[in-house]
Amino acid sequence: MDIKWLEDFLSLTQTRNFSRSAQERNVTQSALSRRIRALEAWVGADLVDRSTYPLVLTPAGKLFSSSATDAMRLLNDARSLLRIESKDENMLSISAGHTLSLNFLPKWLGAIEARHGPLRTRVLPANVHDSVLSLVEGNCDLLLCYYHSDLPIELDPARFEFINLGGEIVMPVSIPKRSGFAAFPLPGNRLAPTSHLAYTAGSFFARVVERIVARVDQPCFLTNTYESDLAELLKTMALSGHGLAWLPESCIKRELSEGKLVAAGGEQWNMTMEIRLFRALDNRKPALQRLWDTLKQP
């Protein structure tokens, strides 16, 4: 049972509306519905009556609502106490996407330590939604993420600030044929769609790919043959010759230089993403302020 399911359910008991709760929880309505269904499966009973509008709790839902409220209060009280007792002013926790954690963060930390001196860091790999939530709820000191104006990260500039650490291209790649051209090229054709190693629907990179395809003024014919949230898994499948995948350049730098992967389309199929580092303005941890001052130096 995922604690987020409890938080989703308690939001639903207040709003009595899936759409409003999905907005409040910063997830899609379909994702929220799936999570409530998963909670009901775990409990073993229907918790909400979906035949009415606004929805109402079933008798089991009313009983479980009271228990869930008490459980969340106890968990949050315990977490707050433990966070105070275990607080380490010299340790910086960084929440980051899996791809950035693997391919960007280690080299970036090495370069920063050369200027700043040794750092004590704890890296918390997570998806974009959970990373942002971690910063908002004060569970990390720094958020490292990709950013694009078409896919903004909604953080209040009155509460959070960021530093741009550079950029990275997301591009479609494939194993090459003997000729050197991509074995799975874009845009494909209607009769023989190109095999596509896709990101799971709703994930950040799935939205990136959707935006790229939508803005290219050319029909694109793809058939999804494999799906994953993780770019590293899609890279493995691409190297095994299962199709094309859109991947961040840092993830495939070596494979491109060695010719194991090649571009599967022209530059119109690429998107350049910013890499941003966010922090909360009310976080007064001295180690964080010293690092931020170093980062702001030219």
Q: What is the pLDDT of residue 112?
A: 92
The whole-number average pLDDT for the span 216-242 is 94
Q: Say if CB 4 and CB 32 are below 8 A apart.
A: no
Phi, psi angles (nearest 5°) of residue 80: -60, -40
As a whole number of angstroms, the distance between CA 152 and CA 200 comes to 19
* 197 confidence band (pLDDT: 50, 70, 90): very high
Nearest to 294, CA basis, from 119, 168, 105: 119
The pLDDT of residue 233 is above 90: yes
**Dihedral of the CA atoms 168, 169, 173, 178 (nearest 10)?**
-90
* 1 confidence band (pLDDT: 50, 70, 90): confident
Q: What is the pLDDT of residues 29-79, one digit of tens each?
A: 898 999 999 999 999 999 998 887 788 899 999 999 988 898 888 888 777
As a whole number of angstroms, the distance between CA 16 and CA 6 comes to 15
Predicted TM-score (pTM) above 0.85 = no
Phi, psi angles (nearest 5°) of residue 97: -60, 155
Q: How many CB atoms lie within 10 A of CB 254?
A: 10
* 152 confidence band (pLDDT: 50, 70, 90): confident
The letter for the amino acid at 74 is L
Q: What is the DSSP letter of 200?
A: P
As a whole number of angstroms, the distance between CA 76 and CA 104 comes to 33
Query: Could you tell me the two tokens for 61?
Result: 């839902």
Report how far apart, in Å, the C-alpha atoms of 283 and of each of 117, 278, 292 are: 21, 11, 11
Q: What is the pLDDT of residues 86-110, one digit of tens each?
A: 566 788 999 998 899 999 999 999 9
Q: What is the pLDDT of residue 81?
A: 66
